[in-house]
Amino acid sequence: MTAVSPRPATATLLDRFREVRARTDRLTRDLSPEDQTPQSMTEASPAKWHRAHTTWFFEEFVLAADPGYRPRDPAFRFLFNSYYEAVGERHPRHARGQVTRPGVAEVAAYREDVETQVADRLAAGTLDEDALALVELGCHHEEQHQELLLMDLKHLLSGNVVQPVYVERASDLDPDAAPVPLRWTHLPGGLTEIGDAGAGFAYDNERPRHRTWLEDVDVAARQVTNAEWLEFVADGGYRRPELWLSDGWAAVQQHGWSAPAYWRHDEDDGWTTFTLSGRRPLVAAEPVCHVSFLEADAFARWAGHRLPTEQEWEAHASSGHEVHGGLLDPERCHPGVAGEVTLGEVWEWTASAYLPYPGFEIAEGAVGEYNGKFMNDQHVLRGAAAITPASHARVTYRNFFPAASRWAFSGLRLAR
């Protein structure tokens, strides 16, 4: 992963660092030690682990670069490394939920200790350009984990029969209100440029900005809604093999999919979905959420359209046309991050596999493991979700998950 120039002034970076760290603390403030300990599946991690791992990143790449630095605890390097092979051996990923020590209080102390040391160095102006770039990278890294933390928490809590509430929500939209009608935006084809142009922070995988050829395309002005997905379900969408990719049909049969993740239908309550505010009635006008790429692809085929490529998506998002979610209720998913979302309410699956851009270069050293090594059998999502930190959302951002993943806040937008 490479950092950009010009670099923001050190004073600003200190503010940003403090702000990002404080947000993580706000997100976990109301979670008990019990809530922060388990891991509900291999792909997810405990909240406690996210808090420690994001701290480890600053310790490993910023503080430990100083040869005189003495690690707070050598075990943390083993426990809280995620996948950086270059840094050394690490605790097995599937067993993160079994690390009961250090506990939540020790992790909080670890956070505070590392945070103070980084902040001191930032305030004193003793960090060199490389270290400053790594602090900035660490802030973005922590924002990414803030979203993962909420995804993982939702997955964990959803399995509890009491369907717990993470954050109270005052009111709900009318479940039966009509969605915004579907309109299409026409984009004329031609040679265009996509990718990060270098003016602000971006991950390595958003670079280099490069030329690409697009044909004419229409892109939907809003995301697919729950109302439309209910039509798909009612039309036998999950029972018709001809609508599905081969892997999709296999997943339907293997996992018994018959609706998006967290949806449930029973006689008393009709359709409901599990949210970070507990189980709630399904709101027809909201963007559909927690569908896999395989489902998004089948839906698009059923609708007689297709998913946009990520090139089309970025051209559309950069075009000045209105680009939004369904009902635009930023409180919907997580009130605690209200008002921060600008690009849409759910991530949008694209037709594109996650591959390097032409001319892509991997950064030197361990941070270079960041993005490039996942470029196999993953699919690109674009935009952002209601739980994405506003400062982490940008038009060139490339999110990615395997085709069958459903625990991200993932929906779709159609193209034709």
> Which stretches of the chain bind a copy of itself, using CB under 8 A?
32-38, 40, 48, 75, 78-79, 83, 85-86, 91, 95, 97-101, 103-104, 156-157, 159-162, 164, 191, 210-213, 215, 241-242, 244-249, 293-294, 297, 351-353, 355-356, 358-359, 369, 373-377, 403
Q: Which is nearer to a copy of itself, 41 or 177 (CB)?
A: 41
Q: Which is nearer to a copy of itself, 231 or 247 (CB)?
A: 247
Q: Which is nearer to a copy of itself, 71 or 159 (CB)?
A: 159
How far apart are CB 309 and a copy of itself at their closest, in Å? 8
How far apart are CB 172 and a copy of itself at their closest, in Å? 23
Q: Which is nearer to a copy of itself, 306 or 394 (CB)?
A: 306
Q: Which is nearer to a copy of itself, 135 or 149 (CB)?
A: 149
How far apart are CB 410 and a copy of itself at their closest, in Å? 16
Q: Which is nearer to a copy of itself, 128 or 242 (CB)?
A: 242
Selection from 204, 146, 150, 167 nearest residue 20 by Cα: 146
| Burial (Cβ within 10 Å: 0-12, 13-18, ≥19) of residue 290 | buried
The label of the residue with tokens 């006689």 reads 267
Q: Could you tell me the two tokens for 340?
A: 């921060």
How far apart are CB 263 and a copy of itself at their closest, in Å? 20
How far apart are CB 86 and a copy of itself at their closest, in Å? 6
How far apart are CB 215 and a copy of itself at their closest, in Å? 5
How far apart are CB 277 and a copy of itself at their closest, in Å? 15
Q: Which is nearer to a copy of itself, 18 or 91 (CB)?
A: 91
How far apart are CB 38 and a copy of itself at their closest, in Å? 5
The label of the residue with tokens 């403030």 reads 29
CA dist., res. 104 & res. 37, Å (int): 8
Q: Which is nearer to a copy of itself, 125 or 190 (CB)?
A: 190
Q: Which is nearer to a copy of itself, 73 or 120 (CB)?
A: 73
How far apart are CB 119 and a copy of itself at their closest, in Å? 27
